Amino acid sequence: MSDPGDRAWLLELETRSRRYGSGITGQQLTGHWRLVDLWSREARPQPAPARLLQALQASLEIQPPGREEGGKGAGLELRNSVRLGALELAFAGPGWLEGRRPLLRFHFAGMQLKLGGWQLWQRSLPAADQGGEPFFALIGAGRDDQGRWLLARGRCP
């Protein structure tokens, strides 16, 4: 397989995923993901925003909650966070897989601000309109000499 940092490879993998689906399952998504690269819609590297998110230790944790979210398929729990020193801002809520590609749809039900082990602030968030949830179109997943990787295109309403 080619390098996940190669533009032609990224575009080919996305084309293949659109036609045939990526076959990615909830079990393959389970884990702690950190941002490595950002790419534009035209598959051009976006180094400045990527460096900023890396400096903020942007990460996405995906875990199976052992339940289904609204009957929409395999239920998952997502936690997206950024960190500056001991200060952490995190969003958490349910996610589910939809369709052949598939899409990882999610709704962040709450957000919290923590300093070390201390919770400073917490708030519930309203649900998005049906079908208006943000999502990641899952394009590819695999393993290389640096560990597991996941390639996805995101959308926030």
Q: Give the tens place of pLDDT for each residue, 4-17.
A: 568 888 889 999 99
pLDDT given at position 5: 62
pLDDT given at position 133: 84
Strand pairing report for 135-144 and 118-124? unpaired
Select from 75, 69, 74, 81 the least CA-distant residue to 110: 81
Q: Which two tokens stand for residue 102?
A: 């598939």
The residue extents of the domains of the chain are 7-155
Q: Which two tokens stand for residue 8?
A: 């032609």
Q: For the domain bounded by 7-155, which CATH number is listed?
A: 2.40.128
- Which residues of the chain, if any, have pLDDT below 50? 1, 67-73
pLDDT given at position 66: 56
User: Based on the number of CB atoms within 10 Å of its own CB, is 136 exposed (0-12), middle (13-18) or buried (19 or more)?
Assistant: buried
**β-bridge mates for residue 152, sequence order:** 138
Please report, for residues 72, 95, 122, the alpha-carbon distance to residue 112 in angstroms, rounded to integers and kept in the order given.
Answer: 26, 18, 4
